[in-house]
Amino acid sequence: MTADYRAQRRGLILNMICRFGPVSRTRLTALTGYRAASVGEITKELLTERLIVERGSSSVGHGRRRELLDINKAHLCALGIGFSAGCASLIAAQIDGVILRRVELPIAPGASRAELAGAILREAVKLLEALEGREVIGIGLCNPLFDPTAYRGNSILTSYLHFNDWIDLQLRPQLEAQTQLPVSIFSAVTLPALAERRFGAARGVDNFLCIELSNGLGSSICCSGHVVAGAGGVAGELGHTVVDASDRGAPLCYCGKAGCVERTSAFPALAADILAALDSGVSSSLSAFYDRAQPLRVQDIRRALAEGDQMCTYYVRRAAGRLGIAIANAVNLLNPELVVLFGFMTGLGDVFLRQLETSIRENVLALSGGFRLRVSDTLERDLPLGAVAELFSAYLRVADYSWVYDLPDSGADGESKEPESDQMEGSE
Ligand SMILES: [Zn+2]
């Protein structure tokens, strides 16, 4: 048997165990069509390497039991490193997306990159020490598409190319030298979709959109099973699509245009509308508990909404209506079967989410209307999880075995998964 053929059979068994585990050798034999002896030999090798484990047994009648095999979730790990405004995050995660450790490193404005690299290297080494005894397959670095050491509010006008070059040419080789692990770089544009597809609400879904609702409005797109980055790596900039071109005197978005949905309806715009109304004397239950010296938070608005506050209800519904139009435009373009919403604005609760869903569904073409809408909390702080997802997909060579993940769930020792609801709901 050639080495290639052997590697292919081993890869298939490993992916079958990932897809169907806990699963018996008998079922693996039936699923793969390989001889029972070959399945026994390959699974023995995988057990010796601790990539899989024996996990319980299933009854096959007459008091006989079959041992079940599962991927060794606690053994296979990877590190993910991401950047947000003012912060670098490092996570250590298992192959099933469970985050074992998380470190948040504050980035001071104007921090030197040498200091930042030093701090990241120290924390990465500490994380690896904590994972001793497990197999760490690599490190995934998220390219943030902005420069977190020069971040001033929403500023895509600040060139980030230097920072991206620094990640590629400085941080990556230093990390590789220090940890002796392979380091891969992934664009922030693709990571939400990659994380949701492997660990979150979009498992098994080939056409979906992830929409971030926070200080900005971004999207991450999966078309026919391919996560899309675009020619220049900036696909999905939904926030800078114009939804209101009627007001020529409107203040400009930081991207240089008027009427961008982000400029009028992402969280900073919503907060500014509410604060301006408060300052102009509009009555609101916010006045009773909100300290005007503090920044307005999602929790404050949510509390006012729960108290039936008319002013907050008006602005939240208006923002949700506009965001919904932008999302509906994306749905019309791409015809997804699932739209995953994430980001801290989803914490505004039912008043926001209901209006958002109404607005999306009112503005999509009827022919594209058969999509599901889900709220995910997988991604709130976990973009590095997308990098980890991609490392494991490469490790398992999932692309070669993608058909395995489309196989139906029924089988001798498979337990059927719970059916998904069509309504908007949170995911685990
Ligand atoms: Zn804009």
Burial of 112 (0-12, 13-18, 19+ CB in 10 A): exposed
Domain for residue 34, yes or no? Answer: yes
Q: Which residue has the tokens 């999207």?
A: 219
Domain for residue 428, yes or no? Answer: no
Closest CA to 262 of 305, 216, 210: 216
What's the mean pLDDT in 334-345?
Answer: 94
Between 274 and 55, name the one with better pLDDT: 274
| 239 C-alpha to ligand 1 centroid (Å) | 6
52, β-bridge pairs: 71
Residue 267 sits in a domain whose CATH number is 3.30.420.40
| 262 C-alpha to ligand 1 centroid (Å) | 6
Query: 87-94 and 208-213 as β-strands: parallel, antiparallel, unpaired?
Result: unpaired
136 and 234 both lie in a single domain = no
Question: pLDDT band at residue 426, thresholds of 50, 70 and 90?
Answer: very low
| 220 C-alpha to ligand 1 centroid (Å) | 17
| 254 C-alpha to ligand 1 centroid (Å) | 6
The CA distance from 77 to 11, in Å, is 18
| Listed residues 18, 46, 72: the one ending a domain | 72
Q: Could you tell me the CA-to-CA distances from 189 to 105, 111, 123 in Å, in that order?
A: 22, 25, 25
217 and 180 both lie in a single domain = no
Burial of 295 (0-12, 13-18, 19+ CB in 10 A): exposed
Q: Is the peptide bond before 22 cis (omega within 30 degrees of 0)?
A: yes
Residue 379: its pLDDT value, please?
59
Domain for residue 278, yes or no? Answer: yes
Domain for residue 45, yes or no? Answer: yes
Kind plus residue range of the DSSP H or E element containing 138: strand 135-143
| 238 C-alpha to ligand 1 centroid (Å) | 9
Question: pLDDT band at residue 420, thresholds of 50, 70 and 90?
Answer: very low
| 154 C-alpha to ligand 1 centroid (Å) | 10
| 229 C-alpha to ligand 1 centroid (Å) | 19
Q: Domain range for residue 146?
A: 76-188+383-393
Q: What is the DSSP string of 190-225?
A: THHHHHHHHHSTTTT-SSEEEEEESSSEEEEEEETT
Three-class DSSP category at 367:
helix
| 157 C-alpha to ligand 1 centroid (Å) | 11
Question: pLDDT band at residue 148, thresholds of 50, 70 and 90?
Answer: confident
Domain for residue 196, yes or no? Answer: no
222 and 367 both lie in a single domain = yes
| 272 C-alpha to ligand 1 centroid (Å) | 16
Kind plus residue range of the DSSP H or E element containing 223: strand 217-223
For the stretch 210-232, pLDDT in tens is 999 988 888 999 999 889 988 87
| Torsion angle defined by CA atoms of residues 196, 197, 198 and 203, in that order, rounded to the nearest 10 degrees | 110
180 and 42 both lie in a single domain = no
54 and 124 both lie in a single domain = no
Question: pLDDT band at residue 1, thresholds of 50, 70 and 90?
Answer: low
Domain for residue 410, yes or no? Answer: no
223 and 267 both lie in a single domain = yes
By the 8 A CB rule, do 52 and 68 touch?
no
The rounded percent of the chain whose pLDDT value lies above 90 is 56
For the stretch 285-324, pLDDT in tens is 999 999 989 999 999 999 999 999 999 999 999 999 999 9
For the stretch 252-287, pLDDT in tens is 888 888 888 998 899 999 999 999 999 999 999 999
| 240 C-alpha to ligand 1 centroid (Å) | 4
| Listed residues 11, 39, 72: the one ending a domain | 72
| 152 C-alpha to ligand 1 centroid (Å) | 16
| 180 C-alpha to ligand 1 centroid (Å) | 42
Neighbour tally for 336: CB within 10 Å: 23
**Residue 154 half-sphere exposure toward CB, CA atoms < 13 A:** 18
pLDDT at 425 over 50: no
| 275 C-alpha to ligand 1 centroid (Å) | 22
Domain for residue 123, yes or no? Answer: yes
| Listed residues 72, 104, 123: the one ending a domain | 72
221 and 364 both lie in a single domain = yes
Q: Which residue has the tokens 């690299």?
A: 117
229 and 354 both lie in a single domain = yes
163 and 219 both lie in a single domain = no
| 57 C-alpha to ligand 1 centroid (Å) | 57
31 and 173 both lie in a single domain = no
Domain for residue 274, yes or no? Answer: yes
Query: How far from chain centre, in Å, is Cα 32?
Result: 32
What's the mean pLDDT in 81-92?
Answer: 87
| 85 C-alpha to ligand 1 centroid (Å) | 18
The DSSP secondary-structure symbol of 347 reads G
Residue 418: its pLDDT value, please?
38
Write 306-314 long-range contacts (CB < 8 A, 24+).
306/349, 309/284, 309/285, 310/284, 311/274, 311/277, 311/278, 311/282, 311/283, 311/284, 311/286, 312/274, 312/284, 312/285, 312/286, 313/351
Residue 323: its pLDDT value, please?
95
Question: pLDDT band at residue 203, thresholds of 50, 70 and 90?
Answer: confident
Burial of 423 (0-12, 13-18, 19+ CB in 10 A): exposed
276 and 363 both lie in a single domain = yes
95 and 45 both lie in a single domain = no
pLDDT at 421 over 70: no
